[in-house]
Amino acid sequence: MGVNRSTPGTPDGGPAFVTTRLDAVVNWARKYSLFQYPFVTACCGMEYMSVNGAHYDQSRFGAEIPRFTPRQADVLWVVGTVNHKIAPVLKRVYEQMAEPKWVIAFGACASSGGFYQNYAAVPGIDRIIPVDVYIAGCPPRPEAILDGLLELQRLVQEEGPRGIKGINPRQMAGD
Amino acid sequence: MSEENKPAQEQAGEQQAAAPQKPEPPLTRLLRNNFGEVVLDHHDQHGDETVVITRERMLDVFSFLRDDHRCSFSLMMDLTAVDLMPRQPRFELVVHLKSIDLHHRLRVKVPVSEDSPEVDSIRDLWIAADWYERECHEMYGIKFKGHPDLRPLLLYEGFQGHPLRKDYEKGRQQPLVPLRPVTERYNYGETFHPVPEQPAPGGENK
């Protein structure tokens, strides 16, 4: 986005018009209306609730509205341990989301399996579905979660949709 | 009195004085009086008793514990097993009972051999045991004779082996969804960084 100051503006010297590209505007709109699908399976859910509540107030970033159907969601929040029994459900939820879509791995278990390196737990949900942002912590502090959300907003603004089926556009271009 | 007998008598007397026979706690005594040799071992701590009984007559013992007015164990609190490998018999079924009327508790252990890991189901005495026995069955591979439905409870159909047995390989996983290879992760604003090759969980490509 750029502000054009070369032409005469308003009487007080402010900008007369703004030039931009369509995708920059669309991405700007996207990043402030990230409807979420919370896939909450474990204790990280408590921190998630805290962030979504009034105190930390996720709605400041336009990302508070949960959609309990994946078809209306933009961001999949995977909050908590995912085990092999529920992995098919997670994969199906992800596949039902419409493009563009993003995934946040919330906490140590979702990111890597955490300390559950055993017969039950998936060693990181990126072994099942592509992940955009990993938030560390067991559980993460609300500040870390908001940081992860801002990271996702930056990603949405700068890179836009992540290509088909979560393949990174840069990766496709061979960068 | 000969020289040979005298020390022996004294010895016996000393032993009695040094370690007076501790009276059996009440529930153990009750079970011993009614079932005799069925009680293999016992101990008690802070008034909570533990008895070890034989597998063959466990149903009789459990029925007695539930129905006798001196026991009146109306609540089955917990049922699980322990893998004591390499000790023989390898498994031990552990049942915790509580009497709500009489305010006492009892832990009953039943040794189970590795060759025939089968015990009688106590589900018909306490319906609460139903899911505990299903869990115990999938985790330890102990069969419960008389249980109507031993489907997996926490695990899924097709899971091979029993994960809480000591000889289940620690990292062995049996995914339902094939795991994607993850070769690199992307640091936004920076660059790709390679992900060290994950050790394939045992049984991943079963």
The answer to ipTM > 0.90 is: no
In a domain, B80, yes or no: yes
Interface of B with A in 126-165 (CB under 8 A): 154-156, 163
Residue B129, token pair as written in the block: 């045991």
Determine the residue among B183, B185, B188 to mutate to test chain A binding: the one whose Cβ has the most chain A Cβ atoms within 10 Å: B188
Q: What is the pLDDT of residues A85-103, one digit of tens each?
A: 999 999 999 999 988 889 9
Task: Domains for chain A: give ranges and CATH numbers.
Answer: 36-173 (3.40.50.12280)
Q: Name the residue among A105, A90, A124 with its Cα closest to residue B196.
A: A124
Q: What is the pLDDT of residues B57-70, one digit of tens each?
A: 999 999 999 999 99
At B129 the pLDDT is 94
Query: pLDDT exceeding 70 applies to what percent of chain B?
Result: 78
For residue B34, what is the domain's CATH number?
3.30.460.80
In a domain, B146, yes or no: yes
- Backbone φ, ψ for residue A116 (5° rounding): -90, 70
Q: Name the residue among B188, B200, B189, B199 with its Cα closest to residue A131.
A: B188
Containing structural domain, residue B132? 23-161
In a domain, B191, yes or no: no
Strand partners of residue B88: none
Interface of B with A in 172-191 (CB under 8 A): 172-177, 179-180, 182, 185-186, 188-189
At A175 the pLDDT is 37
**How far apart, in whole angstroms, are the C-alpha atoms of residue B105 and residue B47?**
9
In a domain, B178, yes or no: no
Contact criterion met (CB < 8 Å) for B177 and A88: yes
At A99 the pLDDT is 81
Q: Point out the residues of chain A with pLDDT beneath 50.
A: 163-175
In chain B, the number of structural domains is 1
Beta-carbon contacts of residue B51 (< 8 Å; ≥ 6 apart): B27, B28, B31, B39, B41, B42, B106, B107, B108, B109
Contacts of B182 in chain A (CB under 8 A): 124, 126-127
At A13 the pLDDT is 64
In a domain, B138, yes or no: yes
Contacts of B198 in chain A (CB under 8 A): 123, 127
In a domain, B74, yes or no: yes
Contact criterion met (CB < 8 Å) for A85 and B180: no
Contact criterion met (CB < 8 Å) for B176 and A85: yes
Alpha-carbon torsion angle A112, A156, A45, A66, nearest 10: -140
In a domain, B188, yes or no: no
Contacts of A122 in chain B (CB under 8 A): 175, 179
At A64 the pLDDT is 85
Is B93's pLDDT higher than 90? yes
- pTM for this structure? 0.78
In a domain, B4, yes or no: no
